[in-house]
């Protein structure tokens, strides 16, 4: 994927555990909450207002409140999150839904590319989304 976000409606499948571990310096459950709050800010921008963010975390459910409009949080329990992300990405892409997998896990990104699913590294996604949030607050 290029170095910009698309204006086309997009489903972002986000490797939540990978993302939070890259940027979080707080206890994991607090970092999860802050991440979904940040995604809510992202959805309030003009460019991302019609997008859907599906955040996939490894392990059992740890969330008690809804994440917000257009943000869906999944916990994979005993299924590996990577498998869920790649399978969902391939399914949505095959159904002609613009889908982007967000992760910095090289193995996951390689599997996604094999299935012709668009990908974006966590760091690039963060910078691009934060730029949109910053534009809105000016």
| Cα separation, 5 vs 89, whole angstroms | 17
Higher pLDDT, 113 or 68: 113
Place of tokens 């859907």: 52
| Cα separation, 55 vs 37, whole angstroms | 12
Q: What is the pLDDT of residue 21?
A: 82
The answer to whether residue 61 is domain-embedded is yes
Residue-wise pLDDT tens digits, 77-105: 888 899 999 999 999 999 999 999 999 99
Instruction: Please state, as a whole number, how many other Cβ atoms lie within 10 Å of the Cβ of residue 6.
Output: 14
Q: Judging by beta carbons within 10 Å of its beta carbon (0-12, 13-18, 19+), is residue 108 exposed, middle or buried?
A: buried
Mean pLDDT of 12-31: 79
Higher pLDDT, 35 or 136: 35
Q: Considering the chain, what percentage of its residues have pLDDT values greater than 70?
A: 88
pTM of the model: 0.90
Q: What is the pLDDT of residue 63?
A: 66
Q: List the single range of 7-16, 31-40, 119-128 with lowest mean pLDDT.
A: 31-40
How many helices (DSSP H) and strands (DSSP E) are in the chain?
5, 5
Residue-wise pLDDT tens digits, 56-73: 988 777 766 667 789 999
The answer to whether residue 4 is domain-embedded is no
pLDDT at 23 over 80: no
Q: What is the CATH number of the domain that holds 76?
A: 3.40.50.1010
List residues bridging with 100 in a β-sheet.
Answer: 12, 118
| Counted domains in the chain | 1
Q: List the single range of 15-19, 68-72, 134-138 with lowest mean pLDDT.
A: 134-138
Domain that holds residue 35: 11-137
Q: What is the pLDDT of residue 15?
A: 95
The answer to whether residue 3 is domain-embedded is no
Beta carbons of 103 and 122 less than 8 angstroms apart: yes
As given in the structure block, the two tokens for residue 60 are 């059992």
The answer to whether residue 1 is domain-embedded is no
């Amino acid at each position: 994927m290029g170095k910009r976000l698309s204006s086309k409606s997009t489903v972002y499948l986000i490797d939540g555990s990978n993302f939070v571990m890259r940027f979080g310096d707080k206890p994991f459950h607090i970092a999860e909450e802050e991440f979904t709050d940040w995604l809510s800010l992202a959805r309030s921008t003009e460019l991302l207002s019609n997008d859907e963010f599906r955040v996939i975390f490894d392990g059992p459910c740890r969330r008690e409140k809804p994440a917000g409009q257009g943000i869906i949080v999944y916990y994979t329990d005993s299924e590996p999150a990577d498998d869920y992300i790649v399978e969902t990405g391939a399914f949505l892409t095959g159904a002609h839904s613009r889908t982007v997998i967000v992760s910095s896990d090289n193995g996951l990104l390689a599997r996604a590319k094999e299935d012709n699913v668009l990908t974006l590294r966590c760091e690039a996604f963060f910078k691009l989304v934060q730029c949109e949030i910053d534009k809105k607050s000016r």
